[in-house]
Amino acid sequence: MTTPEKLYEGKAKIVYKTDDPEILLTFYKDDATAFNAQKRGTIVGKGQINCTISRHLFQLLESQGIPTHLIDTPSPNEMRVRRVTIVPIEVIVRNIAAGSLCKQTGVPLGTLIKPALVEYCYKNDALGDPLLTRDRLFLLNLATPEQLEEIRTLSLQINQVLSEFFNQCGITLVDFKLEFGITSDQQLVLADEISPDTCRLWDQSQTDPNQRVMDKDRFRQDLGNVESAYQRVLERVLSGIQAQS
C-alpha cells in the first residue's frame, strides 16, 4: 500500500487521489469552521457522523433517480467518490427563512417559504462566497443556461426527497447547501456532502428556538451540546432509513 496523495484539503474534508484517476477518496474531518473560517473548532466524532449521514442521504437520492458522486464508504469517515470538476456555485435551497436570508432581507426567522427558494452563491472563500444574480453567474461563466436549469431542477427534486425523509425522522429541513460537479463523461452529478454542517435541521419535538437546532448553528451561535445534536441527527437518519427498508 502506498500512501495516498493528497489532492487538496478543505475546511471539512481532505481529498486524496486513488490508483484510479476517476475515483477520489474523501476523508471527513472533525474540524469545524464558521463565518468563512473566522471561527474554528472541533466537533468530536463529526467526521464519522457526517460521512455516514451523507452516505445514507446520497443512497436515498440515488434510489429516487438523482445522480450523485457516491461510490462507497470504506470506513466510517472515508467516502470514495467519482472525481468531478466542481461547478463553483453553492446552491442554497430554503423552505423556512433563517441565516443570511433574514439578515440580508429582513424576512423574519421561521417564515415559511413556499415554493422553496433557490439561491446561488459564488464558491470562492477569498470573496466570502457572495450571493450571485443569474446575470453575474453567466458573466463569470460559472455554468451554461442549460446546466443552470438542470442544477435548479435537480436541487428542487433533492429538496422534495430530503424534506419528506427528514419529516419522517421528526426533523424539519429548514435549508441546505448543495454542490454539483461534472464527470469526465460530462454528466452533472450531486457532489460534496449533505450533513448537519450543510443543512439547517430543526427538531420537531422541541418548540424552544435554541433547543430545536440540530445543525452547525449550535457551533456558530455557541448553543452548546453540538456533538450530541449531530449524534441525534445520525440516529434519526439511521432509524428513518431502516423504516424504509
Ligand X SMILES: Nc1ncnc2c1ncn2[C@@H]1O[C@H](COP(=O)(O)OP(=O)(O)O)[C@@H](O)[C@H]1O
Interface residue list for ligand X (CB under 6 A): 8, 10-13, 15, 24, 69, 81-84, 86, 179, 181, 191-192
Among Mg ion, ligand X, none, partner that 179 touches (CB below 5 to 8 angstroms by kind): ligand X
Contact by Cβ (8 Å): 26, 204? no
CA distances from 45 to 42, 229, 230 (A): 9, 11, 9
Q: Please name which of 23, 71, 37 lies closest in space to residue 51, comparing C-alpha atoms.
A: 71
Among Mg ion, ligand X, none, partner that 86 touches (CB below 5 to 8 angstroms by kind): ligand X
**In whole angstroms, how close is the CB of 200 to ligand X at the nearest point?**
16
**In whole angstroms, how close is the CB of 140 to ligand X at the nearest point?**
17
Residue ranges in 98-225 assigned as alpha helix (H): 100-105, 134-139, 145-168, 217-220
Residues in Cβ contact with 171 at an 8 Å cutoff, skipping those fewer than 6 apart: 201, 202, 203, 204, 214, 233, 236
Among Mg ion, ligand X, none, partner that 83 touches (CB below 5 to 8 angstroms by kind): ligand X
**In whole angstroms, how close is the CB of 192 to Mg ion at the nearest point?**
6
Contact call for residue 53 and Mg ion (CB under 5 A): no
- The helix or strand, by DSSP H or E, that contains position 57, with its residue range, turns out to be helix 46-63
**In whole angstroms, how close is the CB of 219 to ligand X at the nearest point?**
14
Q: Give CA–CA dist 169/203, Å, rounded.
A: 9
Among Mg ion, ligand X, none, partner that 240 touches (CB below 5 to 8 angstroms by kind): none
Contact call for residue 12 and Mg ion (CB under 5 A): yes
Residues within the interface to Mg ion (CB under 5 A): 12
